[in-house]
Amino acid sequence: MSTAIPQSQPLQRAGGRMLVDVLIGRQLDRYPSTARRITYLAIVVLATVVLYYEAYVGGSVSPSILRQFGMSFSFYVYMIVVGNALGAFSSIIAGLADRWGRANMVAWGLGVTGLLTLFAIPHAPNKWIFALVSIAIGFVEGIILVATPALVRDFSPQLGRASAMGFWTLGPVVGSLVVAQVASHTLAILPAWQDQFVICGIVGLVMFVVAVVALKELSPQLRHQLMVSMRDRTLIELKARGLDVSESLRRPWRQMLHTDIVASAFAISVFLLIYYAAVGFFVIYFTTTFGFSEAQANGIGNWFWAFDAGTLIVVGIVSDAVRVRKPFMVLGALGAIAFTVLFATKALQPHTSYTTFIVIVTFISIFLAIAYAPWMASFTETVERRNPALTATGLAVWGWIIRAVVALSFLALPLVVSAVTPLVTYGAQVEATARAVAPELAIVDAHPKLFAELQRYPANAIPPWLLGQAVSEVGLANLQKVARAEPELKFLATYGPEVEKAAAEGPRQWQTWWWVCVGGEVVFIPLILLMAGRWDPRKARQDEEEHNRAVERELAALLAAQPGQEE
């Protein structure tokens, strides 16, 4: 017994250190093997998928949420605006990942969003609490938006960057696909909108546990260097031993706030206006304008996200194989413009079929993906051209701009598409009420002057002469039927004209917004010229060969200066 107590203290301290290492100690002092690197990249991609599943799940049941809380479309949109605005500033906070690291931001951020999604959102008692929790999720999402692509950059040399970024971009795309798939397959058996958040929150907490236990990151000395290919690994590890990290991090914002970085971030932000609309408003658009059910509207989303996801991977691999990014960006932009124009024209064609929309949105998604995966690779390479040690800061500039553009675009959308609020709030009820009292409504419509005169008097104060005239013209039984349906008829009289006007004006308003999206796609093209990277694959390969020769020379010099070191 006398030796048990002294022995337990170092064991407890060792156990405490092990627990701390598991929870927050994530740095790697050597560049990982290919298998481990792919494992870390896979965790980052899955974490991003789950994060965007949580961020976008509300869009799948937005009409139900609006009805439940009596929430206007404008309130719903402004809630998204505030969330994105705070997300923009949290993206700036995430720029500190260059100093503090990235992995803990991702892992513990998943824990926060998982708890909020599982417990807080489904139990929100009113629209204000719902909005505050949604905004909080948006704030955390802004941090992880920057930290996850920074991790992808760290674990992917430039020659594999487009493939890696293609997989990372699966996060928002597959997250949206999961939302659409789960909603379209479960809404019939789980009609309560809260159930979608419960499912999502459980998935989020599972991913949180995986990230806390398994996600690692490179040490600052390793991640602050430029890595073009895996052949650079030995040189980077040798240089890391004497690298002055603090010097490379001085004045980070001054180093990143240059035209090539800022304009490129703005370009992709406006290019993706159609994507933001798909995430937040496709369900509302298709249900209010074309009469599709929520499940059908989510079904259209299934096609959009599935083809987007597949194309991102294929294009990333092809872009890495040919060593260029810019030609893919131009091709993607031109195709997106063509099919977004076609999509806009269908807004005024109310009998457009479900299949036609599937085809159009599928091609929009394909061309968006052709541009986006190479753009992400090129943007990180543009940041590295300035300073590879400030990748997270450069991505924070992008995160701030993209969230600001989303906030501003959503702020403008209710002003452009003002018809949505009455359609979402009262449209379904007006339609159902009109069907329920169709016989009584027909009686009133057949004698408009008579019933207009009757409405001037309370039911117990109608003049006998007018009552006699009404019985003579309509019949006592019909008058009694109309009297019993009076609450429903008053509802139709109050909201019916507003809904009818909105239904007439909505399609043209939506079309105006789709033209704005086309404008964003057009702006994207000339700003491609500012980014890093070659247009010609042959010149890109020549650059690669020259880099390899330079690495070999530098490695030989370092090894010669350290004769006792092993390669």
Rounded to an integer, the average pLDDT of 222-238 is 65
Give the pLDDT confidence score for residue 562 in this predicted structure: 65
Give the pLDDT confidence score for residue 244 in this predicted structure: 60
**Are 180 and 298 spatial neighbours (Cβ–Cβ below 8 Å)?**
yes
Task: Phi first, then psi: give them for residue 331, nearest 5 degrees.
Answer: -60, -45
Binned at pLDDT 50, 70 and 90, residue 118 comes out as very high
Binned at pLDDT 50, 70 and 90, residue 566 comes out as very low
Which among 232, 323, 239 has a CA at the least distance from the CA of 552?
232
> Poorest-confidence range of 19-23, 372-376, 464-468, 538-542?
19-23
How many helices (H) and strands (E) would you count in the chain?
27, 2
Binned at pLDDT 50, 70 and 90, residue 225 comes out as confident
> Poorest-confidence range of 199-208, 496-505, 533-542?
496-505
For the domain bounded by 24-226+254-428+503-535, which CATH number is listed? Answer: 1.20.1250.20
Rounded to an integer, the average pLDDT of 49-55 is 89
Rounded to an integer, the average pLDDT of 412-440 is 82
State both tokens at 113. Answer: 């969003």
Give the pLDDT confidence score for residue 4 in this predicted structure: 45
> Poorest-confidence range of 172-181, 318-327, 388-397, 530-539?
172-181
Give the pLDDT confidence score for residue 159 in this predicted structure: 66
CA 498 to CA 429: how far, in whole Å? 13
2, pLDDT greater than 60? no
Rounded to an integer, the average pLDDT of 149-160 is 82
Give the pLDDT confidence score for residue 501 in this predicted structure: 85
Please tell me what DSSP assigns to residue 533: S
112, HSE (Cβ side, Cα atoms, 13 Å) = 18
Task: Phi first, then psi: give them for residue 353, nearest 5 degrees.
Answer: -80, 160
567, pLDDT greater than 50? no
> Poorest-confidence range of 14-28, 107-121, 153-167, 524-538?
14-28
Give the pLDDT confidence score for residue 184 in this predicted structure: 80
3-state secondary structure 351-363: CCCHHHHHHHHHH
Please, which contacts does 545-549 make with residues 24 or more away whose CB atoms are closer than 8 Å?
A: 547/228, 547/229, 548/229, 548/231
CA 274 to CA 285: how far, in whole Å? 13
Give the pLDDT confidence score for residue 124 in this predicted structure: 96
Rounded to an integer, the average pLDDT of 166-192 is 83
487, pLDDT greater than 90? no
Rounded to an integer, the average pLDDT of 463-485 is 86
Task: Phi first, then psi: give them for residue 437, nearest 5 degrees.
Answer: -115, 30
- Provide the mean pLDDT of the chain: 84
Binned at pLDDT 50, 70 and 90, residue 5 comes out as very low
Which among 148, 151, 155, 194 has a CA at the least distance from the CA of 175?
148
% of the chain surpassing 90 pLDDT: 32
DSSP for 394-456, please give it.
HHHHHHHHHHHHHHHHHHHHHHH-TTHHHIIIIIHHHHHHHHHTHHHHHHHHHSHHHHHHHTT
Per the document, the length of the chain is 567
CB count, 10 Å around CB of 267?
24
Which among 66, 80, 126, 131 has a CA at the least distance from the CA of 422?
66
**What residues contact 68, with CB distance under 8 A and at least 6 apart?**
193
38, pLDDT greater than 50? yes
Binned at pLDDT 50, 70 and 90, residue 46 comes out as very high
Binned at pLDDT 50, 70 and 90, residue 28 comes out as confident
178, pLDDT greater than 90? no
CA 231 to CA 555: how far, in whole Å? 11
The pTM score is 0.78
Domain ranges of the chain: 24-226+254-428+503-535, 429-502, 541-567
Rounded to an integer, the average pLDDT of 296-321 is 88
Rounded to an integer, the average pLDDT of 393-407 is 90
> Poorest-confidence range of 242-246, 421-425, 527-531?
242-246
Give the pLDDT confidence score for residue 236 in this predicted structure: 66
3, pLDDT greater than 60? no
Amino acid identity at 478? N
CA 385 to CA 532: how far, in whole Å? 7
> Poorest-confidence range of 147-161, 190-204, 240-254, 494-508?
240-254
Binned at pLDDT 50, 70 and 90, residue 23 comes out as low
Binned at pLDDT 50, 70 and 90, residue 19 comes out as low
